[in-house]
Amino acid sequence: MSSESWLTTKRIRVHGLLLAVCLWTVYAVDMSAPGLLDRSGLVKGTDFLHFYTLGSLELRGRGDLLYDMRAQAELAREFVAQAPDSVYVPLYGPQVSLLFAPFARLPYGWALMVWLGVNGVIYAFCCHTVWKSCPSLRAYRWTVLILAIAFPGFFHLLAWGQTSGLALLCFTLAFLALRSDRTLLAGLAIGSLIFKPQLGLAAAVVFLFARQWKLVAGAVMAASLEIAAAWMHYGTEVMRTYLHALTHVREVLPLLEPRLYQNDSLRSFWSLLLPWPRVAFALYVVSTVGVLALAVRVWRSGSSLSLRFSVLMFVTVLVSPHLTVYDLVILAPAFLLLGDWALAHREQRFGLRIQQLLYLSYPLFLMGPLARITHLQLSVVVMTALLWVCWIISARSLPAALTSLAVPS
């Protein structure tokens, strides 16, 4: 059976439905335990307890404890008395505590439900909005809905109770602004990622080298306003402590990444593959420069916005110095945009290749624990392959664009 006949819409829909049922059944069973602990003995919402604690510190006027791990651990046990001992490394900007202060006014269980609901609404809005801009996908709404529900990034987002949904919203708003040729607004959306600065690294490099000055100005403006709001609220001493925490992040890296296989980036790829930390870090730097160079070339090519923005999203994940599985939710727009491109070019070889790589990404995003045995993160390999295919497509479209410009009207 040829690959063209094997990767059918019906088979993709069935596989997506099976994956969705398995993922969310496991989640429902795990969360069905009475109380605030799941059936694994972990706090429900996992990382949300950290954000809830940060919000509580703001309500209590204890900004001086925003970067005190021991004090936060003691406070967290006040909210969830049965919680096992766990340490959350406080590296988020002070503005995050302002965001979660309203949630901290509720009991932990109710606050978690509201936060999960907010993330679900954000995810649905982003997927639906991007899907509406994909003409080739409009005839496959039920397939798209099933695949969106089965997307591993969305599953991990809710399972961990993380803030990556806000990052997804920022990227989606940036795409919508670029699609409307509003580069300043796109920059404002990108700059709002300062609460997760590692996710803005690739965008900063790509837009600087692509000379998107209005976009860069918007990003600097949004980031500055976000930091200024926290500065005005907490004062200079808290901001100094925050800067100290960021500059000494390598000292707490083992606490920040206790399970490296749950990260999906070039840094975790080389660190798992090689037993020599210095060599692994050197290869991470070299490969990061390489993929960023490809992203800049693609962005400056005559390719469609869908292709260029998808490349930006995959490079954001690959080059991030710290990217956990729940951050993969930001790739949802890229999957939709590339899926739309692949359907529009289904008769071409690269259209089929993109479909195959997107299909493989779903199970590989869930196989992180396998890297403990193999020391090979296949999810990073498939994302790099998608980036490479997009670069080849853009390289071929550039001569065509130049030729069309040279033809007199």
Is residue 273 domain-resident?
A: yes
Domain containing 51: what range?
Answer: 3-29+38-397
Lowest mean pLDDT among 164-173, 241-250, 337-346, 361-370: 241-250
pLDDT surpassing 90 at residue 167: yes
Is residue 409 domain-resident?
A: no
* pLDDT (mean) for 82-88: 74
pTM above 0.85, yes or no: yes
pLDDT of residue 302: 78
pLDDT surpassing 50 at residue 29: yes
Is residue 68 domain-resident?
A: yes
Is residue 407 domain-resident?
A: no
pLDDT of residue 397: 66
Give residue-wise pLDDT tens across range 255-310: 777 788 889 999 999 999 999 999 999 999 999 999 999 999 999 987 899 999 99
**Where is mean pLDDT largest: 209-223, 247-261, 339-353?**
209-223
pLDDT of residue 246: 86
pLDDT surpassing 60 at residue 328: yes
pLDDT surpassing 50 at residue 2: no
pLDDT of residue 377: 93
Higher pLDDT, 3 or 65: 65
> Number of structural domains, the chain?
1
* CA dist., res. 179 & res. 64, Å (int): 43
HEC sequence for the chain: CCHHHHCCHHHHHHHHHHHHHHHHHHHHHHHCCCCCECCCCCECCCCHHHHHHHHHHHHCCCHHHCCCHHHHHHHHHHHCCCCCCCCCCCCCCCHHHHHHHHHHCCCHHHHHHHHHHHHHHHHHHHHHHHHHCCHHHHHHHHHHHHHHHHCHHHHHHHHHCCCHHHHHHHHHHHHHHHHCCCHHHHHHHHHHHHHCHHHHHHHHHHHHHCCCHHHHHHHHHHHHHHHHHHHHHHCHHHHHHHHHHHHCHHHHHHHHCCCHHHECCHHHHHHHHCCCHHHHHHHHHHHHHHHHHHHHHHHCCCCCHHHHHHHHHHHHHHHCCCCEHHHHHHHHHHHHHHHHHHHHCCCCHHHHHHHHHHHHHHHHCCCHHHHHHHCCCHHHHHHHHHHHHHHHHHHHHHHHHHHHHHCCC
* pLDDT (mean) for 342-359: 88
Residue type, 75: L
pLDDT of residue 351: 84
> Would you give the end-to-end CA distance of the chain in angstroms?
47
* pLDDT (mean) for 240-267: 84
Is residue 97 domain-resident?
A: yes
Give residue-wise pLDDT tens across range 390-403: 999 988 765 544 34
Mean pLDDT value across the chain? 90
Lowest mean pLDDT among 37-51, 147-161, 317-331, 390-404: 390-404
pLDDT surpassing 50 at residue 405: no
Is residue 402 domain-resident?
A: no
> pLDDT confidence of 182, banded at 50, 70, 90?
very high
pLDDT surpassing 50 at residue 9: yes
Among residues 260, 231, 275, the alpha carbon closest in space to that of 93 is found at: 231
**Where is mean pLDDT largest: 25-34, 116-125, 344-353?**
116-125
* pLDDT (mean) for 111-129: 97
**334 contact partners, CB below 8 Å, separation of at least 6:** 309, 310, 313, 314
pLDDT of residue 348: 79
> pLDDT confidence of 5, banded at 50, 70, 90?
low
pLDDT of residue 398: 55
Is residue 184 domain-resident?
A: yes
Is residue 352 domain-resident?
A: yes
pLDDT surpassing 70 at residue 215: yes
pLDDT of residue 404: 39
* pLDDT (mean) for 373-388: 94
